[in-house]
Amino acid sequence: MTVISRPGRPVRPRHAASLVIYERKEDDIYVLMGKRAKTHRFLPNVYVFPGGRVDKADADLEPLAPLSPDVEKMLSRPADMAHAVAAAAVRETHEETGLVIGDVKADKVIPDLSNLDYIARAITPPISPIRFNTRFLSIDARHVSGTLGGSGELIDLRWIPLTEALTMPLVDVTEFVLGEMGRKLTSAAAVAPFGANPVPLFTYFRGKSLIRTPGHE
C-alpha cells in the first residue's frame, strides 16, 4: 500500500464496510471484484470488493431481517455499530454493483442482513492521510438479486476465481481478506455457524503489517 507521510497526530479512521460476495461453481470459488479508477484518491488502480464509508443514515435503515445474534455481537466490538456497518455494506454494494441484498423501494435499499457473516477487520496505516476502520462482511451469491451494473465507481466489475484474484493488482489488505475467504470456504470453518470464528484484525505496527486474532495473539 502506498502511503504519504504526514506530520502531527494520525488521522482518525472513518468507519467503513466492505462486502465479499462469493459463488461456488463446480470446483472453484468466485468473488465479485472491481477495479478502482486511477483518479481515485484512495487506492487507485487496484481491485477491491464493493464498499465504502458508513453514513449516519445507515443506522436508521429498517432491515427486512436483522443480523444473526452472533454476528451482531462480534460486529459490535469495539463500538456498537453492528447494524450501521452491515447496512452500509449492503447500500454501498447496491450503489457500486447494482445488486440487491433485500429489496428496493422508491430507489432505496431495504437490507436483509440475516445472511451476512463477519470475516475480517482492517485499519489503514497511521501515516496515511486517508484512513478507514473497515469491517469486511461476506455473503453467498444465492442471497443476492439484481443485474450487475452499478454507478461506474468500480470498473471491470466481474466475477473472478479466487485463485486468479490473488494474482491481480491488490493491496495487502485485499490479499489478506481473499486468503481468509479461501480458508473459510475450503475448511471445516465453512460449515460453522455465522459468527462462530474469531475475526482477525489487519493493522500496522512500526510500518509493517500485523495480524491480530482474538485468542491467538
Which residue segments constitute the domains of the chain, with CATH numbers given? 14-212 (3.90.79.10)
Residue 203 neighbours by CB distance under 10 Å: 17
pLDDT for res 166: 94
Within 13 Å of residue 182, how many CA atoms lie on the same side as its CB? 14
> Chain-centre distance of CA 71, in angstroms?
14
8-state DSSP, 50: S
Q: Under a CB-based contact definition with an 8 Å cutoff, are residues 121 and 90 in contact? A: no
Task: Return the pLDDT at 193.
Answer: 58
pLDDT of residue 213: 81
pLDDT of residue 5: 41
CA distance linking residue 203 with residue 141, whole number of Å: 28
Considering only CA atoms, which of 124, 119, 101, 126 is closest in space to residue 182? 119
pLDDT of 78 reads: 61
Copy the grid coordinates of residue 200: 482477525
Residue 5 and residue 18: Cα distance in Å, rounded? 26
Cα–Cα separations (whole angstroms), residue 92 to 31, 36, 142, 191, 195? 16, 14, 19, 27, 22
- SS3 label, residue 40: coil
Rounded to whole angstroms, the Cα distance separating 34 from 22 reads: 13
Q: For position 2, what pLDDT does the model report? A: 41
Identify the CA nearest to 123 among candidates 109, 135, 137, 139: 135
Contacts with 208 (C-beta within 8 Å, 6 or more apart), sequence order: none
Helix runs in the chain, H state only: 69-75, 82-97, 162-165, 172-185
**Per-residue confidence (pLDDT) for residue 150, from 0 to 100:** 81
Q: Enumerate residue ranges in the chain where pLDDT < 50.
A: 1-6, 215-217
pLDDT of 188 = 58
105-145 pLDDT tens trace: 988 899 999 999 999 999 988 888 888 999 999 999 999 99
